[in-house]
Every structure is written in C-alpha cells, then in structure tokens.
Amino acid sequence: MTCMFFTTIHPFGTMITANLLLEKFSQCQCWEERYRCLILLGQKLPALHDALKNNESELMGCENKVWLGYQRYKNNKLHFYGDSESRIVRGLLAVLLTTIEGKHPRELYGKDLLTLFFRLGLKENLSAGRTTGLYLLSDKVLQIAKNALHKCDVVVDT
C-alpha cells in the first residue's frame, strides 16, 4: 500500500470480539433481528477517508461499492480497514474485520475466514449477491495475507 492517509482505529477484533458477537447474535430470535444487529454493527465502522476509496482498495464484482485495504505494522501484523455504500455490507465487513484485525499474515493465509458468519447464523440468509461479495472479501484478505508473507509493504508504527 502506498497511500499516506492513516485510518481510524476501529473496535473490531479488539473491543468487539467474536465471542461478543456470538453472545449478541445468539439473542436474535429471527433473521430480521440478525439483520438489525448487522446494521447496528456496521454503524460502528468508521467512515473511510475518500482518499482511501480508490481502485486499489475497491473490491470489483460486488453489487455495491466496497473498499478493503490494510496497513502492515512493524510487528508484521495487519490492520484492515474498509467501507461500503450498503448498510448490510458494512455490517458484514465489520464481522469480517472482527475475524482478521491485528493478525499476522500467517494466521490468515489459507484459513476459512467465513466461519464466524456461519456461527452467527448469517450466511444461510444472505442473498446470492451478498454471498458472492462475502467470498470476494475473503479472497482479497487471503491474497493480501499471501502477498504480505512474500514482500515488504508500508510499515507503520504501532
């Protein structure tokens, strides 16, 4: 990544953990409640600076505009950031960030990054388009992890 803008630190993967999401979503009685929880979760995602909404971070092939980028810290762990024009996709992105944030590329590469979506009861109720977008997001994270294992990118202080 070559952009000099730094992103706002988000609570996903730190204050908002997989266990916290599992607890919250387990209280949902139906898909509509999960949908509402997902939208509220997406509202916690900081807005992405327009300079970071570029061709490099835009995810092609999604129905809505989605951006996913990263920064690599000196300890080689990755900070991910993203945004979407869709409230639901922002929520899905927030769940993904909960899974991947602050991990070393070795912890991500070759892993199933969508397990949490199944555990939250989200995956089976997504439209085909959103499911495709979710797989595209996962594939992009895996590609970032693979590339980060093989080359040096911009390193920022932690």
**Catalytic residue positions, numbered:** 62
The tokens describing 118, both together, are 């199944």
Pick from 114, 120, 58, 60: nearest CA to 83: 58
Q: How far apart are the C-alpha atoms of 140 and 137, rounded to whole Å? A: 5
Q: How far apart are the C-alpha atoms of 144 and 69, rounded to whole Å? A: 9
- C-alpha angle 21-131-146 in degrees, rounded to nearest 5: 80
CB within 8 Å of 128: residues ≥ 6 apart: none
69 membership: H or E segment, kind and range? strand 66-73
Pick from 73, 112, 74, 117: nearest CA to 94: 117
